[in-house]
């Protein structure tokens, strides 16, 4: 279906050409009545040239609008595909504006992750305390965002109010509008707490296995944390 801007432009081009032609034929009639053949040729040439210019400009603008509409359509399709994929997964979907502030979130996951993303609205990721992120880590992450690059599987550890550690893996990509202007970031986050606990347990078991049998009694078999 032809979009409204393109349809309006076509009408404007046709109207402009019609005005030129009406004016041209009015001038032709006047020149014929007054028997001024030389002036008639001039006006015919000028009218034809004017019509051609208007037609060419109109075609160029139509082509530009069509390209813009195609780009916009691709962006919308990409957005729909992204939302569809996240809707089928167990991940949390999030969006940020061009200042890296959270604007929305959706999806499923553990309560601590869902509520945490909701409470993050209007804030940046580094406004929160994460156990595993240093100032150097944040500087590197912000530099990557400023370069408008995607990031994958960035892990964050937060201390839950219960005292246990929770882990989340986050991936994101920059978003641009049809003109190429940066609009922010969007991405997904997933709970990896159980995976981190399993990794910690394996490290503890390995540490115990390397201790001489006569010293193993002194090794505390404390429940694995998620450092």
Encode the chain in three state secondary structure: CCCHHHHHHHHHHHHHHHHHHHHHHHHHHHHHHCCCHHHHHHHHHHHHHHHHHHHHHHHHHHHHHHHHHHHHHHHHHHHHHHHHHHHHCCCEEEEECCCCEEEEEEECCCHHHHHHHHHCECCEHHHCCCCCCCHHHHHHHHHHHHCCCCEEEEEEEEECCCCCEEEEEEEEEEEECCCCCEEEEEEEEEECHHHHHHHHHHHHHHHHHCCCHHHHHHCCCCCCCCC
Q: Are 24 and 43 in contact (CB under 8 A)?
A: yes
Average pLDDT over residues 153-179: 92
Which structure tokens are listed for 129?
Answer: 């305390």
Beta-sheet pairing, 151-159 with 102-107: unpaired
More confident position, 134 or 35? 134
Average pLDDT over residues 19-26: 59
Q: Are 16 and 55 in contact (CB under 8 A)?
A: no
More confident position, 93 or 13? 93
Range with lowest mean pLDDT among 12-21, 43-52, 109-118: 43-52
Average pLDDT over residues 202-217: 72
Residue 167 has pLDDT above 70, yes or no: yes
Provide the β-strand partners of residue 172.
Answer: 151, 187
What pLDDT sits at residue 195?
Answer: 92
Q: Are 168 and 125 in contact (CB under 8 A)?
A: no
What pLDDT sits at residue 54?
Answer: 61
What pLDDT sits at residue 90?
Answer: 53
What pLDDT sits at residue 81?
Answer: 53
What pLDDT sits at residue 2?
Answer: 46
Single out the residue of 65, 72, 27, 77 nearest to residue 48, CA to CA: 27
Single out the residue of 65, 72, 101, 66 nearest to residue 180, CA to CA: 72
More confident position, 174 or 201? 174
What pLDDT sits at residue 82?
Answer: 54
Average pLDDT over residues 186-205: 90
Average pLDDT over residues 122-130: 95
What pLDDT sits at residue 12?
Answer: 66
Q: Which long-range contacts (CB under 8 A, 24 or more apart) does 65-69 make?
A: 65/3, 65/5, 65/6, 65/9, 66/6, 68/178, 69/3, 69/5, 69/6
Which structure tokens are listed for 87?
Answer: 């809707």
Average pLDDT over residues 211-224: 57
Only one residue has tokens 């069509």, namely 66
What pLDDT sits at residue 26?
Answer: 57
Range with lowest mean pLDDT among 1-5, 14-18, 140-144, 200-204: 1-5
Helix axes 37-88, 4-33, angle to 10 degrees: 180
Residue 37 has pLDDT above 60, yes or no: no
Residue 44 has pLDDT above 50, yes or no: yes
């Amino acid at each position: 279906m032809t979009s409204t801007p393109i349809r309006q432009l076509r009408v404007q081009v046709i109207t402009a050409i019609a005005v030129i032609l009406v004016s041209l034929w009015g001038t032709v009639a006047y020149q014929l009545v007054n028997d001024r053949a030389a002036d008639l040729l001039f006006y015919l040439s000028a009218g034809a040239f004017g019509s051609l210019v208007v037609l060419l400009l109109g075609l160029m603008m139509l082509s530009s609008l069509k390209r813009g509409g195609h780009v916009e359509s691709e962006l919308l399709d990409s957005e729909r595909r992204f939302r569809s994929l996240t809707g089928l997964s167990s991940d949390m979907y999030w969006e940020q504006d061009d200042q890296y502030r959270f604007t929305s979130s959706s999806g499923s996951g553990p309560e601590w992750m869902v509520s945490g993303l909701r409470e993050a609205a209007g804030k940046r990721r580094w406004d929160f305390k994460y156990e595993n992120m240093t100032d150097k880590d944040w500087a590197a992450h912000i530099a990557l965002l400023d370069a408008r690059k995607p990031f994958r599987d960035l892990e964050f550890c937060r201390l839950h109010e219960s005292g246990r550690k929770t882990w989340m893996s986050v991936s994101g990509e920059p978003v641009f509008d049809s003109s190429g202007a940066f609009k922010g970031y969007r991405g997904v986050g997933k709970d990896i707490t159980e995976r981190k606990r399993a990794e910690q347990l394996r490290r503890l078991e390995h540490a115990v296995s390397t201790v001489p049998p006569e010293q193993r009694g002194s090794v505390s078999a404390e429940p694995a944390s998620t450092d």
